[in-house]
Amino acid sequence: MPERGNGTGREAGTRFRLFAQPPFLKPFREPETVWVSSPAGSVGPGPADDRMYVVDPIGKRAAYGLSEDRFGNAAYVLPPWPGPAFPPALPDADGHFDGIEVESPEFEAAHLFGVVRRTLDVWEGYFGHPIEWHFARDFDQLELVLQRNLVENAFMGYGFLEVGIHRASNGAVHPFSLNFDIIAHEVGHCIVYAVVGVPNPETTYAEYYGFHESAADLTALIAALHFDSVIDELLAATHGNLYTLNLVNRIAELTGNDQIRLAANPLSLLDFVGGWRDEHDLAQPLTGAIFDMLVDIFHEELVERGLFSADAEDLSDRMEDQPDYHQIVQPIFDETYAAAPDGFREALVSARDTVGIYLAETWRRLSPDYLGYDDVGRTLFAVDQMLTGGRYSRIIDVNLRRRAIGAARVGPQLAPRDRKSHFELPRVFMPERQSNCCRRRSSYRERLEMSRRRV
């Protein structure tokens, strides 16, 4: 159906090697060579281009955000990093970065840049145009920071995206700069701020925060499905039964057995009518509804291609919430997939692109002011009508109702957000709202100069 999708141009683009999933997961211990849309030769040392650059700072003790000057006044620390930095990643003579050894310290910088550019390529393809940074009036480029003392976190803010590290229970340290899901999730936040808007506490419902986290998760999920290795491994492991616990419905996977949250989850808004504590949890009903849409559209594609019977699809739908679902349904997928693996792959790619375009067209029509999940649902219906005349209206309706979207409202916030929240004031800093996060009303330019001296 949709003609838009991953807009990378192999003939004129730039090559990077990227891990589709963290390299400590067995199937992904070798990075995959990918092309990004930046013309060969346009990405310089860093890597850096006209939209973003990577810095590996020496002696940067804290992440960007709120700080204090020597007089005790609150100041918002902003890029650029003015101090020393480790050597940048360098392109080869033809302008590519795929020759950098994985063991080289410069590989992290190249990987971070490549993931951000790759994710933007995917989603700019779905939107059909470049996505302008929400901070473009003050910064031309996004600063990508390897912040090695930022533990168990990564986040973006006004002009920056910083990635830290994960400390495993066995003491191993895994840099988030090599974790595609986590970086792509942060790019998702950038996209939402640019396309939907930055929230204003005075006009923001709780569901906006859940929507934002859901959109970031879905940004990463759809982008990951643009790796050949992910699709191949996914289908080889599940034979098309996407409700099997697998590498795609694990969001921001950290180890083979430990994931932050699941795309395939049973939560609905009814679980939050009494209140909520964390926007990541609040995101799950919407993420689950969209994931279910992806699965249902995939099944429709299989039926239309003659690869799956309508009776088998109906059985899969009816058994979805039953404890013996996999025992009964998995053999059907095993048999049908074995007969036409290439057809299954084509159907999944088509479903991926359909959902990607639906999300892009939905997000561009939303506003952060008083945004609720019911607004997202109504807009999905409108987009479906506009693009296909309502082809997937039944699928949308079933999955929204299953999550009580449009039938229930989220209750009050039960606990203050912690410092890892993307919606603490330092994360959503906007110059015109500076009085919200700083005690002294200094000018924005004064803050900028102060931050450059203090970092």
Please write the tens of the pLDDT for every residue from 134-150: 999 999 999 999 998 88
Least confident of 39-43, 143-147, 419-423, 427-431: 419-423
* Digit-coded pLDDT (tens) for 385-410: 999 999 999 999 999 999 999 999 99
Quick check: helix, strand or coil at residue 347?
A: helix
pLDDT value of position 416: 73
- Rounded Cα distance between 132 and 384, Å, is 26
- Rounded Cα distance between 319 and 129, Å, is 41
Q: For the range 391-400, what are the long-range contacts, defined as Cβ-Cβ under 8 Å and sequence gap of 24 or more?
A: 392/293, 392/296, 392/297, 392/300, 392/354, 392/358, 395/293, 395/296, 395/297, 395/300, 396/293, 398/296, 399/289, 399/290, 399/292, 399/293, 399/296, 400/289
Quick check: helix, strand or coil at residue 434?
A: helix
**Contacts for 111 with CB less than 8 Å, ≥ 6 apart:** 16, 17, 18, 19, 31, 177, 178
* Digit-coded pLDDT (tens) for 218-228: 999 999 999 99
pLDDT value of position 441: 38
* pLDDT surpasses 60 at 360: yes
* pLDDT surpasses 50 at 378: yes
Which tokens sit at 182? 């986590």
Q: What percent of the chain has pLDDT over 90?
A: 60
Q: Does the CA dihedral 215-37-227-104 come out positive or negative?
A: negative
In this prediction, residues 75-93 reach a mean pLDDT of 92
pLDDT value of position 417: 65
Q: Does the CA dihedral 431-132-251-392 come out positive or negative?
A: positive
pLDDT value of position 300: 95
* pLDDT surpasses 70 at 251: no
**pLDDT grade, residue 117 (50/70/90)?**
very high
Strands 160-167 and 142-151: parallel
pLDDT value of position 83: 93
pLDDT value of position 419: 57
CATH class of 14-195+433-454: alpha beta
**pLDDT grade, residue 39 (50/70/90)?**
very high
The whole-chain average pLDDT of the chain stands at 85
Which tokens sit at 335? 């048999």
Considering only CA atoms, which of 252, 230, 16 is closest in space to residue 111? 16
**pLDDT grade, residue 414 (50/70/90)?**
confident
Considering only CA atoms, which of 192, 56, 33 is closest in space to residue 112? 56
In this prediction, residues 233-246 reach a mean pLDDT of 85
- Rounded Cα distance between 334 and 441, Å, is 64
Residue 85 DSSP code: B
- Rounded Cα distance between 201 and 194, Å, is 17
Quick check: helix, strand or coil at residue 35?
A: strand
For residues 20 and 180, the answer to whether their CB atoms sit within 8 Å is yes
Output the pTM of the full model. Answer: 0.88
Domain with CATH 3.10.170 in the chain: 14-195+433-454
Angstrom distances, CA of residue 267 to CA of 169, 257, 262, 287: 28, 21, 10, 10
- Rounded Cα distance between 431 and 314, Å, is 53
Look-up: residue for tokens 């009580």? 404
- Rounded Cα distance between 74 and 97, Å, is 40
Q: What percent of the chain has pLDDT over 70?
A: 82
pLDDT value of position 307: 94
* pLDDT surpasses 60 at 425: no
In this prediction, residues 22-35 reach a mean pLDDT of 79
* pLDDT surpasses 60 at 238: yes
